[in-house]
A and B are shown apart, each in its own frame.
Chain A
Amino acid sequence: MILTGQEIIKNTKDGKIKIDPFHEGCATTNSYDLKLGTNYIRYTSEILDPKTESQFISSPIPPEGLTLDKGDFILASSEEKVGSDHFVPLIHAKSGIARLGLFIHVTADLIDIGSYGNVTFQLYATLPVTIYPGMAIAQATFWVPKGEIKLYDGKYQGSDGPQPSRIHMDKT
């Protein structure tokens, strides 16, 4: 079951969903709109290798906008910190963003229950596109889980701003 916008508002007030900052007006029929934060990350390693830590540079997204070329890939984050110990969040692009050919995640839409922090957006442009800090770029939906809940306690917990991959920390 997916939560309606009204249910998202109710559960945020009850503390079962955490969205900070929270504005009721950002709730839609079935989701909550997420805004783009102020920083982005671009990898500088020529070849990304999951077994070694990738090099990257972190920069602010200027108020006058950051233009991505077709084929560009960067990481950015939500302005809001988002999470829930009671529902499973999924992340989606706003349809208006998708219609500009911009992916906001690269096949990783599922957030672990118990995870809390800024959502890292995986931005991939299929057309030239300009992004602005504070723009509504994504939406989160919340889904009812079935079964005993064991909360996320992984390597991205408490993310502040965009977080590069930490896959090199995997044991195997």
Chain B
Amino acid sequence: MILTGSEIQTAFANGDIMISPFEAELVNPNSYNYRLGTSIKKWVGQKNGQNVFESIILPKDGYVLDPHIMYLGNTYETIGSDQYAMSLIGRSSLGRLGLFLQISANLGHTTSCHKWTLEIVATRPIRIYPQMKIGQVSFWENKGDLLPSTFTYANYNEPQESILIPGMERIL
């Protein structure tokens, strides 16, 4: 079951959902609007087979994304839940402008809690602003026992590029 906006507020109030900072006016009928953080990373190429990202502090008057280039951003809020699974997506108002907020990885695991990394790709040049309302997170009830998560990206609060585990030749 997906939580309604009222239920998100109730769960926030009793500690089953963490959203910080939380603003009641960002609650939707069945999701919560999250904001973009204050910096992003732009993919600028590869060096020795590794992706190289350049950090950009987003100016107040906005920053224009080049189309078809990969950027990493993060949520302004710390978001998580020990009780519910999450789906982190873009707002329809941004989707209508052709802005991807993730690359088919919407699932947030129960027990993770952090500033989420966003995988941002623009299909057309678009200006983005720090702390703009950019996406939505929804909360979903679980069925079954919870296994403790070993998902390491939950330890990161800054826009975090993919991590290759040495020797394991796989991406977390």
- B98 neighbours in A (Cβ, 8 Å): 43, 48, 73, 106, 122, 124
Q: Are B6 and A151 in contact (CB under 8 A)?
A: no
The size class of the interface chain B forms with chain A is: 35 or more
Per-residue CB proximity of B17-29 to A under 8 Å, as 1/0?
Answer: 0000000000011
Q: Does A113 contact B (CB under 8 A)?
A: yes
Kindly report which residue of chain A lies nearest to residue B138, judged by CB atoms: A110
Could you tell me how many residues of chain A have their Cβ less than 8 Å away from some Cβ of chain B? 44
> What's the Cα separation between A51 and B126 when bound, in Å?
11
Taking the nearest CB of chain A, how far is it from the CB of B136, in angstroms? 6
Question: Chain A nearest CB: distance from B116 CB in Å?
Answer: 13
In the bound complex, do residue B1 and residue A145 qualify as a contact, i.e. CB atoms below 8 Å apart? yes
If the complex has contacts A108-B89, A149-B4, A156-B92, are A167 and B129 also in contact, measured as CB distance less than 8 A?
no
SS class of chain A's interface: helix, strand, loop or mixed?
Answer: loop
Q: Within residues 84 to 106 of chain B, which ones have a CB less than 8 A from any CB in chain A?
A: 87, 89-102, 106
Interface residues of A in 75-119 (CB under 8 A from B): 75, 88, 105-110, 112-115
Known: A49-B62, A145-B4, A148-B6. A108 touches B125 (CB 8 A): no
Contact of A51 among B1, B10, B93, B129 (CB under 8 A): B129
Q: Is B128 an interface residue (CB 8 A)?
A: yes
A-B contacts besides A47-B127, A107-B99, 17 pairs, CB < 8 Å: A1-B1, A47-B64, A48-B97, A50-B93, A106-B100, A107-B95, A107-B101, A108-B91, A108-B94, A109-B89, A110-B31, A113-B29, A122-B98, A144-B1, A148-B4, A148-B7, A163-B96
A residues sitting closer than 8 Å to B (CB atoms) are 1, 43, 46-51, 54, 71, 73, 75, 88, 105-110, 112-115, 120, 122, 124, 143-152, 156, 163-167, 170, 172
